[in-house]
Structure formats: C-alpha cells, structure tokens
Amino acid sequence: MVVNLSARSENLTFPALGEWSYALREPSGGGFSCSAKSIAVAIYGVPAVAEERVFIGGYNGRAYALNASARSQGQEFPQTRENEWFYPKVGGALGSIVGSPVMGDDAIYVTSADGKVYCLEKDFGDKRWNSTILSEKLWSTPGVEGDSVYLTTFEGHLYALSAEDGKVTWNFTTKSGIGFVSSPLVYGGTLFAGTFDSRLYAVKVGADEPLWEFPAGNCFWSTPVAGNGTVYAGCLDGRVYAIDADNGTELWSFDTGSPVVVSPLLSGDLLIAISESGAIYFLKTAASVDSRLVSEVSINVSVQAAPCVQDGIVYVRGQDNVLYAVDINRGEVAWRLPLSGE
C-alpha cells in the first residue's frame, strides 16, 4: 500500500486512508489468472519513486510499477492503467525479492533469491539483462553509481557489475570468508558494508585489500549513510558510530540503549537515529559539541522498517502497522496513520 505522505492533520490519528492504495495479490495457485482465491504479496524492500510511478519488489518474485497519479482505494493489481507493468509478465517468477529496487537513469535494478541481479527497462518493464549467479541467494539492495551496479553477498563478496550488460567488472572477497550482512553504501569511490563478524568494511572500488575495518560489539545490520567525509553506521550493539571515511577513525558514538536495525538519516546538520525500541534521536553531526543530543521522541513500538525524511518530517512505520509522522522542529509526533492489512 502507498499513501500520501505530504498530508497533515490536526489530530494525532489521521482520519483517512490516504490518496490511494493497491492490494498486491496473486492467485493461490501461482501465476495470474481469474481464480477467485488469491494471496497477499509480501513486500520487504523500500519502494523506489520516479516521477509518477512507484516501483516495488515482491516476495513472490515479481517486480511492479504502479501509477502514482491514479486515485483509487483498495483496488487489486494488476490493472490496465497506463504506465503500469509487472515482471515477469508471463511464465514463472524470479526468486523472492527481499532487497529494495534501485533506480538508474532509465532502468530499475533488483536482486533475487535466485542469486542474480536483474535490470528492467523503466517504462515498460522489459528485461535488459540479468547477471550470472553471484550468490546462493541475493537479499541485498544494489548500490548504483555512474555506470556500475554494486552489491554484497552472504559469501563475503563485493561485486561491481556493468550497468550496460551486467557483466562483473570487479570482485572483492573478505580474507576470512565472512559474509556481508548489510547492503553497500557507495561514497567517494569506496564501498562501505557490515559483515557477520561485527565489522564495518571500507573497500576502494577496484582494490584487493580493504581500506580499513572498523570493529564493534555486534553486526552493522543496516546500510550506513555518509556526508562531509563521515560515515554514520547503526549497530546491533545499540550504538550509532560516526567514522572518518578515509581512515576508519571513530569520531564519536551515541548509545541508543537498543539495537539499531534501520539506517540512520541525514537532514541538514542533524543525524536521525532510530532504535529498535522505537526511540528516535536527533543528533548534532559536528565532531566536537557540548551536547550531541538535540531531542528525543519515542513512538513506543518496535521499529524494523526503513524510515525516510522529507520537508522536516520523519516517516516511521512501527511494528504495530502504523505510520508515524514526526516533526523535526517540534520534536513530536504530528500524526499517526493506521495502515490497513489482511
């Protein structure tokens, strides 16, 4: 389901469902048909948005493009609306899609549990290419920069693929063979990703050795973010770390008191860190400050889904299936929107 995130309400509970919603369902027998029985399609990744379309990967092994300009409530996909498609269009599905789809200039990139990366044409959903099998299963979200697509694997590989044809142009492997648990951040020609042995790796694209390794008390499960030469990484040890991107030196850290399973957000000179317990921390990013914490808001429910920030509002989905809009300036929940589900 997709809702209008720009809406405001004087009441904490938003009174309407939103601008529109889709029910992604598939016949229980597999494939699309006129069967009266169908099952809901699970979505684990974050949608990609371009112009008036929303791109989604389904756990059923299909990628979808939805028309965001359509105004409807609860209609089932697929419809015959203009600019909508799903892939594969006929025949079987891909392996389950767990990672988020990522936009290129005119293409969508998705990873699949069949171990391949797929490049789909944005307008009509035609397949341009698929990679060779790179892993037993690919659950990570690709990183796209320039003419390359980057990804991590559970077997401890970093890959760079040509965005033109999907061929491998570079491969790095951890010496220990320990797998990568997070999706990669691409920043300044370097890939940053966490491994199962509680380390954050920094590897220059094309290198055979890591630039640095940063050890912590637990895994860096979520993808880091970066800005102004600093990498910010949330860790399952409950801390958010600010690390010098060039040399791996810890600049500062902040204890959230609970595992951090979602990526932090940057908004101006603030870092927004959200713990699994539902506490949202607004932190100053400057290396030396008297007080790092600006404010704290709690939604009092577990958070395991990726948040986003836009126009001074942080949008957080709680495990209670409610969307929370948190106003950064006021430091409080502006409204709540219950999300329908079956």
CATH number for the domain spanning 48: value is 2.40.128.630
User: Does residue 136 carry a pLDDT above 50?
Assistant: yes
Name the residue with higher pLDDT: 290 or 202.
202
Nearest Cα neighbor of 332 from 276, 280, 260, 273 is: 280
Residue 99 maps to a domain: yes
Q: What is the pLDDT of residue 33?
A: 47
Residue 292 maps to a domain: no
Is the distance from CB of 8 to CB of 18 less than 8 angstroms?
no
Compute the average pLDDT of residues 285-290: 86
Please give the structure tokens belonging to residue 158. 């970093």
Residue 52 maps to a domain: yes
Structure confidence at residue 2 as a pLDDT band (50, 70, 90): very low
- Phi (first) and psi of residue 184, to 5 degrees: -85, 145
Nearest Cα neighbor of 97 from 77, 111, 118 is: 111
Q: What is the pLDDT of residue 8?
A: 42
User: Does residue 1 carry a pLDDT above 70?
Assistant: no
CB neighbours of 207 closer than 8 A, spacing ≥ 6?
172
Range of the domain at 92: 41-173
Q: What is the pLDDT of residue 5?
A: 37
Nearest Cα neighbor of 256 from 233, 224, 286 is: 233
Peptide bond into 78 cis (omega under 30): yes
Is the distance from CB of 2 to CB of 68 less than 8 angstroms?
yes
The residue type at 86: F
- Total domains in the chain come to 1
Residue 55 maps to a domain: yes
Residue 298 maps to a domain: no
Structure confidence at residue 311 as a pLDDT band (50, 70, 90): very high
Residue 30 maps to a domain: no
Is the distance from CB of 43 to CB of 56 less than 8 angstroms?
yes
Peptide bond into 264 cis (omega under 30): no
Residue 59 maps to a domain: yes
Tens digit of pLDDT for each residue in 51-87? 888 999 999 999 999 988 765 555 565 555 677 899 9
Q: Identify the H or E element spanning 252.
A: strand 250-255
99, 122, 173, 176 from 195: Cα distances, Å = 17, 32, 11, 11
Largest CA distance in the chain: 64
113, 187, 313, 330 from 333: Cα distances, Å = 37, 32, 9, 9
Structure confidence at residue 15 as a pLDDT band (50, 70, 90): very low
Is the distance from CB of 226 to CB of 187 less than 8 angstroms?
yes
Q: What is the pLDDT of residue 271?
A: 98
Name the residue with higher pLDDT: 241 or 93.
241
User: Does residue 237 carry a pLDDT above 60?
Assistant: yes
Residue 25 maps to a domain: no
Give the range among 6-10, 150-154, 184-188, 271-275 with minimum mean pLDDT. 6-10
Q: What is the pLDDT of residue 72?
A: 56
Residue ranges with strand state E in 93-244: 102-103, 107-111, 117-121, 127-130, 143-145, 148-152, 157-162, 168-173, 185-187, 190-194, 199-204, 212-215, 225-227, 230-234, 239-244
Is the distance from CB of 260 to CB of 234 less than 8 angstroms?
yes
